[in-house]
Amino acid sequence: MSYFAKMKGTTKSPPGVSLTEVALSWLGSFIGITVVAILQSLFFDGTDLVLMIGSFGASAVLVYGAVKSPLAQPRNLLGGHVLSALIGVGAFTIFQSQPVLAAAAAVATAIAVMHATKTLHPPGGATALIAVIGGEKVHSLGFLYAVVPAGVGAAVLLVVALLFNNIPKGRRYPEFWY
Partner 1 sequence: MTARIDACVAVDISDDDIFDAMKDVSGYLDITPGDFKEVYLKAYRHAVTRLTQSVKAADVMTRQVVSVGEATPLQEVARLMADRKISGVPVVDDAGKVLGIISEKDFLAVMGPGSADTFMCVVAQCLLGKGCLAAPYRAKNARDIMTSPAVTVTEGTPIMDVASLFSEKKINRAPVVDKKGVMIGIVSRADALRWSLVPEDR
* Residue 6 engages partner 1 in binding (rule: CB under 8 A): no
* Residue 8 engages partner 1 in binding (rule: CB under 8 A): no
* Residue 27 engages partner 1 in binding (rule: CB under 8 A): no
| Nearer Cβ to partner 1 (69/93) | 69
| Gyration radius from the chain CA atoms | 18
- Give the range of 10-18, 75-83, 97-105, 119-127 binding partner 1 by CB under 8 A: 10-18
> Which residues from 55-74 bind partner 1, rule CB under 8 A?
65-72
Q: Which residues contact 51 (CB under 8 A, 6 or more apart)?
A: 36, 39, 40, 43, 44, 148, 149, 152, 153, 156
* Residue 17 engages partner 1 in binding (rule: CB under 8 A): yes
* Chain-centre distance for alpha carbon 56: 5
Q: What's the CA angle centered on 106, arms 84 and 50, to 5 degrees?
A: 55
Could you say which DSSP state residue 2 is in?
-
* Residue 14 engages partner 1 in binding (rule: CB under 8 A): yes
* Residue 46 engages partner 1 in binding (rule: CB under 8 A): no
Peptide bond into 149 cis (omega under 30): yes
Q: Which residues bind partner 1 (CB under 8 A)?
A: 10-15, 17-18, 20-21, 25, 65-72, 170-171
